[in-house]
C-alpha cells in the first residue's frame, strides 16, 4: 500500500490508472469504513482510500478540534482491507480550492441545523474527484442526505463518476457505527441504541398509523428516556420531502444529540 501526501504526487502516481474506486473518509476508521473498502473491491481493481478531516464541513463550535484522529491505526486497517493507495493530504489541499454549493437538498434535515456543512462536503469531495479521477466512489448510507447530495454533485458537474451507496454497519446493540461514538460518555453510550430502536418501531407501525402520529408518539417515547431529536422525519428517499402517509418507499431519518455528540441514523424502506 502506498501513501500519497500531496495533490501533485497523487496526480503523478495515479495518472495511468483507469479503474480507480475512491473511498473518502475522515479517518478514525471502524468496521463501517472497512465495509466501504470491501464494496470498492467489488467495483474496480485499484482502491484509493482518502483520509482528510475537512475543516470546511465543520461549523462554529462543532467538533473539528476534538474529532478523533488515529492515522497509524487507520493505515494498518486500510492495508489489511486491501486498499492500494491512501491519499492523506495536508490542509494545503484547501489552497485556492474551487468552492462549490450543495444542491437544494442541503437545506433540509441536517442542513437546517448545519447550514454550511454540505457546501464544505461538496467542495472537498469535488477536489478529491479532480485529483484522484475515480470511475466509482463509495459512500456510506448512514449519511443518506450526503449520499443524495454527492449524487447531485455528479449530475450538476462534468464528473464521469458513478456514486455507490454502501449499507449501514451497526454495533451488536444496533447503534450505527460512527467515529463520533467514541466521544460518547458511558451513560450516553448506554442510551444511544434507543435511536435505532425507535426507527424500527416506526418501521413496524408505518402501515398502521399516520406519519404525523408516528412522529409524535416516537418523539414522546424518546423524551421519556431524556432524548429529544433535532429532527425525526418520514420522507421521500429521493427528494427528502415529508410524507403524509406510507406510500411504499420511505426514509425514516433522525438526528439527535447525546451530550456534545451529534448522531444520525436512518432506515430505508424500499
Catalytic residues: 33
In sequence order, what DSSP letters do the residues of 191-209 get, joined into one string?
HTTHHHHHHHHHHHHTTTS
SS3 161: coil
Angle at 172 between CA 170 and CA 173, to 5 degrees: 90
Is 110:255 a contact under the CB 8 Å cutoff? Answer: yes
Q: How far apart are CA 51 and CA 232, in angstroms?
A: 30
Q: Any residues with CB less than 8 A from the CB of 126 and at least 6 apart, and which?
A: 98, 100, 153, 157, 159
In sequence order, what DSSP letters do the residues of 5-26 get, joined into one string?
-SHHHHHHHHTT-S-EEEEEE-
Residue 244, number of CB atoms within 10 A of its CB: 10
Is 10:20 a contact under the CB 8 Å cutoff? Answer: no
In sequence order, what DSSP letters do the residues of 58-116 get, joined into one string?
--TTSSTTTS---HHHHHHHHHHHT-SEEE---GGGGTT-------GGGGSTHHHHSTT
Amino acid at each position: 500500500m502506498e501513501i500519497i501526501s500531496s495533490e501533485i504526487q497523487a496526480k503523478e502516481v495515479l495518472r495511468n490508472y483507469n479503474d480507480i474506486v475512491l473511498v473518502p473518509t475522515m479517518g478514525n476508521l471502524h468496521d463501517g469504513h472497512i465495509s466501504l473498502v470491501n464494496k470498492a473491491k467489488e467495483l474496480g481493481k485499484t482502491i484509493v482510500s482518502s483520509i482528510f478531516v475537512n475543516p470546511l464541513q465543520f461549523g462554529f463550535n462543532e467538533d473539528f478540534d476534538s474529532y478523533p484522529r488515529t492515522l497509524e491505526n487507520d493505515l494498518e486497517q486500510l492495508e489489511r482491507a486491501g486498499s492500494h493507495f491512501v491519499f492523506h493530504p495536508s490542509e494545503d489541499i484547501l489552497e485556492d480550492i474551487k468552492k462549490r454549493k450543495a444542491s437544494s437538498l442541503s437545506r433540509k434535515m441536517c442542513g437546517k441545523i448545519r447550514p454550511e456543512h454540505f457546501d464544505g462536503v461538496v467542495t472537498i469531495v469535488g477536489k478529491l474527484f479532480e485529483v484522484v479521477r475515480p470511475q466509482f466512489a463509495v459512500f456510506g448510507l448512514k449519511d443518506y442526505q450526503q449520499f443524495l447530495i454527492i449524487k447531485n454533485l455528479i449530475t450538476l458537474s462534468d464528473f464521469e463518476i458513478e456514486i455507490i451507496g454502501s449499507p449501514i454497519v451497526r454495533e451488536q446493540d444496533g447503534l450505527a457505527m460512527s467515529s463520533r461514538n467514541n466521544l460518547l460518555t458511558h451513560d450516553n453510550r448506554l442510551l444511544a441504541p434507543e435511536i435505532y430502536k425507535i426507527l424500527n418501531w416506526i418501521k413496524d407501525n408505518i402501515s398502521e398509523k399516520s406519519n404525523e402520529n408516528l412522529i409524535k408518539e416516537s418523539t414522546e417515547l424518546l423524551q421519556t428516556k431524556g432524548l429529544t431529536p433535532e429532527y425525526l422525519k418520514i420522507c421521500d428517499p429521493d427528494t427528502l420531502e415529508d410524507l403524509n402517509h406510507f406510500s411504499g418507499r420511505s426514509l425514516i431519518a433522525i438526528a439527535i444529540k447525546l451530550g456534545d455528540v451529534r448522531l444520525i441514523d436512518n432506515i430505508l424502506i424500499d
